[in-house]
Amino acid sequence: MGNIVGIDLGTTNSVAAFKFADVEVVTADDNQAPDRKLTRSVVATTPNGIIVGETAYNQLKADPENTIISIKRLIGRGFSDPVVQAQLARLHYKITQSIEGTDNSLSVWLGGKEYAPEDISAEILKKVVQNAQLYQSQKGQKSTIDRAVITVPAYFSDKQRYSTQAAAKRAGLSEPELLPEPTAAAISYGFKPNADDVKTILVYDFGGGTFDSALITAAGTQFIESGKAGDLWLGGDDIDDRIIELVKQQVAAEEDLEDIDGLIAQMPHYQKVRFLGDLKMAVEKAKIDLSSSLSAKIIPATPLLDDLGMAIPIDVTVTRAQFEAMILPLVERTISICQEAIKYSDYPADAIDTILMVGGSSQIPIVQERVKAAFGADKVVVHPRPMYAVAEGAAIVAAGLTEKVGTVSRDYFIELADRSHYKIIQQGDILPVSNSYTFKTEADGQSLIHFKFFNTDLVNQQNEKIGEMWLALDRPYP
Ligand SMILES: Nc1ncnc2c1ncn2[C@@H]1O[C@H](COP(=O)(O)OP(=O)(O)OP(=O)(O)O)[C@@H](O)[C@H]1O
Ligand SMILES: [Mg+2]
């Protein structure tokens, strides 16, 4: 047994695993029932200090302003990022520009104190490691866990990766190693050290906050990611948001309310945040029920209040048919992202051996149906442990059983005088990369060159500036 652990640091749930004789996922008493393997990625404050996991999640109802959920959606981002601005309305805790720090950094607030997203992720990691430590010691292993392989979405930018590493260091983990989540899932499914046949696996990871897809070629101990695409804002949280809209529409129709959003907005602050926190929990539960039942009830404990402050209790039934019609556009989007990843990999779609479905949202029946319809039912495999697969793969890597073949996660561009984006490094290239190009100077006598570097997120159609550099030349050039 080692002192290095594999960790899936998820938007909604985090999971730790070890590779002993077999891969074992850590169980802990304070994790989620029934099998106690998932630590909710939720951090809250109480008068007695910071709490993490299931107890923090349970505080979402009572005190959503002091309960931080989905921090992974904010890590490595700036306050002014449009995607962050779009989230402000749905996250009930305070998010601001950092008081100190760069122009485009952000802070979250807990118990009246300012925290960087890295601090919050560090609290989650500390809890996960503490549980892993206990689990390991119950197995008779005394060594201290001080290293980890931590998974990140394949599509995370350099800044998001860097911030995740910073969080791991704040949690006391030295030399944290990052591993793309789809690669981890493929390793957990396809790790056969003696296999010499090459398999092509398209990983379909539909989690709580992120959809990630990557094409991975696997042979024995080697896993190489060749094409990837993803959307860091497409997951179970977005499905929940759609159900919340449906509940609001249904209540508005039944109670003849003209402006239900206006009513919610004018509720006393404390009741409003409690109502919204409660609604989110009831909706998530109903969504999970709909994976096995044909209808589910949404009955948040806190009522909506009308103009006069009178309670309007909410009791809405959602059928599976309604639910499926509502989420179909999201499911179709996951499939077009897969096609994007395949296009990038330069593999023909029919060369793919297996479509491997992982992540909590892959358990939704319509999601499985659409993926089977798109890629052929015989090729689609739902991972037997869809919510643990990523942590299991991380544990195999942590045990040093795979070869480390890193690939570039996104295309890299520079800006030229006559072209806004010129690609210098291609995603999927095997690291380390070295390329050479020839360019002309812009003016006679030029002795300085200003380089601007970009990542382009093709799926979200955004350009992200990742840095710049002035290069002084040895002499003026014509
Ligand atoms: N049986 C189920 N049916 C539908 N949705 C489910 C089911 N079980 C869990 N979920 C949803 O899956 C999501 C969590 O999945 P998972 O644990 O894979 O995400 P994560 O790893 O935390 O997120 P990410 O990978 O995006 O960072 C939540 O939105 C949860 O509501
Ligand atoms: Mg995940």
Each residue of 238-258: pLDDT tens digit? 999 999 999 999 999 999 999
- Report yes or no: 175 and 146 within 8 Å, Cβ to Cβ: no
pLDDT in the model for residue 112: 93
CA 39 to ligand 2 centroid distance, Å: 12
Cβ(11) – ligand 1 distance below 6 Å: yes
265-268: which pairs have CB atoms within 8 A and are 24 or more residues apart? 266/307, 267/304, 267/305, 268/305
Q: Work out the percent of the chain whose per-residue pLDDT is above 90.
A: 63
* Residue from 287, 290, 294, 366 to probe ligand 1 pocket by mutation (most atoms less than 8 Å from CB): 287
CA of 211 to the centre of ligand 1 (A): 11
Instruction: Return the ligand 1 atom nearest residue 284 CA.
Output: 31
- Residue with the smallest CA separation from ligand 1 atom 4 is 288
- Which range of 347-351, 408-412, 457-461 scores highest in mean pLDDT? It is 347-351
Tokens of 74: 């904010």
pLDDT at 219: 86
pLDDT for the residue 1: 45
Q: Is 190 in the pocket of ligand 1 (CB under 6 A)?
A: no
- Kindly report the average pLDDT of the chain as a whole number: 91
Question: Among 54-63, 264-273, 407-416, 460-469, which stretch is predicted with the lowest mean pLDDT?
Answer: 460-469
Residue nearest to atom 18 of ligand 1 (CA): 359
Residue 405 has pLDDT above 80, yes or no: no
What DSSP letter does each residue of 51-116 carry, written as one string? EESHHHHHHHHH-GGGEE--GGGTTT--TT-HHHHHHTTT--S-EEE-SSS-TT-EEEEETTEEE-
- Statement: residue 16 has pLDDT above 80: yes
Which atom, in ligand 1's list, is nearest to the CA of 209? 26
CA–CA dist 26, 47 (Å, integer): 29
Q: Sorting pLDDT into bands at 50, 70 and 90, what band is 461?
A: low
Who wins on pLDDT, 469 or 330?
330
pLDDT band at 322 (very low <50, low <70, confident <90, very high): very high
The two beta strands, 95-97 and 49-52, are: unpaired
CA distances from 216 to 37, 156, 183, 351 (A): 27, 17, 7, 12
Q: Is the CB of 14 under 6 A from ligand 1?
A: no
* Cβ of 117 less than 6 Å from ligand 1: no
Tokens for 466? Answer: 């990742």
SS3 459: coil
CA distance 285 to 328: 19
| Tokens matching residue 353 | 């051996």
**Residue whose CA is closest, atom 21 of ligand 1?**
10
Query: 278 by DSSP, 3-state: which?
Result: helix
What domains does the chain contain, in order, with CATH numbers?
Answer: 4-178 (3.30.420.40), 195-234+332-386 (3.30.420.40), 236-325 (3.90.640.10), 412-477 (no CATH)
Query: What is the model's pLDDT at position 192?
Result: 83
CB 399 within 8 A of CB 170: no
Higher-pLDDT residue of 155 and 382 is 382
343: nearest Cα among 229, 232, 421? 229
CB 337 within 8 A of CB 230: yes
Phi then psi for residue 96, to 5 deg, are -140, 170
Interaxial angle between packed helices 320-345 and 236-255, expressed in degrees from 0 to 180 and rounded to the nearest 10 = 150
Q: Report whether pLDDT(310) > 80.
A: yes
Peptide bond into 432 cis (omega under 30): yes
Token pair in block for residue 19:
């590779």
118: pLDDT confidence band, cut at 50, 70 and 90? very high
Cβ of residue 209 lying under 6 Å from some atom of ligand 1: yes
* Strand-pair partners of 7: 16, 150
Q: What is the structure's pLDDT at 457?
A: 63
Ligand nearest to the CA of 72: 1
| 181-236 per-position pLDDT tens digit | 999 999 999 888 888 889 999 999 999 999 999 999 998 888 988 888 998 889 99
Q: Indicate if the pLDDT at residue 448 is higher than 80.
A: yes
Query: How far is Cα 217 from Cα 219, in angstroms, rounded to an integer?
Result: 7
Residue 180 Cβ < 6 Å to ligand 1: no
Lowest mean pLDDT among 97-111, 271-285, 347-361: 97-111
Ligand 2 mean position, distance from CA 185 (Å): 9
Ligand 1 and 230: CB distance under 6 A? no
Q: Which atom of ligand 1 is nearest to the CA of 211?
A: 26
Best of 326, 334, 361 to mutate for ligand 1, by most ligand atoms within 8 A of CB?
361
**Which residue has the least CA distance to atom 11 on ligand 1?**
360
Distance 71 CA to ligand 1 centre (A): 15
Choose which residue among 7, 8, 9, 11 to substitute to test ligand 1 binding: the one with the highest number of ligand atoms within 8 A of its C-beta: 11
Query: Is any ligand 1 atom within 6 A of the Cβ of residue 19?
Result: no
How far apart CA 262 and CA 273 sit, in angstroms, is 14
Residue 141 pLDDT exceeds 50:
yes
Alpha helix stretches (DSSP H) within 376-434: 389-398
Task: Pick the ligand that lies closest to the CA of residue 357.
Answer: 1
Cα 312 to middle of ligand 2, angstroms: 37
Nearest-ligand number for the alpha carbon of 185: 2
Atom of ligand 1 nearest to the CA of 72: 27
- pLDDT score, position 102: 66
Given CA atoms 336, 340, 342, 346 in this order, what sign does their dihedral have? positive
Q: Of the given ranges (40-54, 117-131, 368-382, 391-405), which has the lowest mean pLDDT? A: 391-405
pLDDT at 26: 97
Check residue 403 and give its pLDDT. 77
Amino acid at 255: E
What is the pLDDT confidence band of residue 103, given thresholds at 50, 70 and 90? low
The minimum-distance atom of ligand 1 relative to the CA of 291 is: 3
What integer pLDDT is reported at residue 62 of this predicted model? Answer: 82
Cα dihedral sign for 332, 333, 334, 336? positive
Protein residue with least CA distance to atom 2, ligand 1: 288
Q: Is the pLDDT of residue 106 over 80?
A: yes
Closest atom of ligand 1 to CA, residue 387:
18
- Tell me which ligand sits closest to the C-alpha of residue 358: 1
Average pLDDT in the 363-371 region? 98
Q: For ligand 1, atom 15, name the residue with the nearest CA.
A: 360
Main-chain phi, psi angles of 336, to 5 degrees: -70, -30
**232/409 Cα distance (integer angstroms):** 14
Q: Cα–Cα–Cα angle for 410, 359, 171, nearest 5°?
A: 70
461 or 201, which is more confident?
201
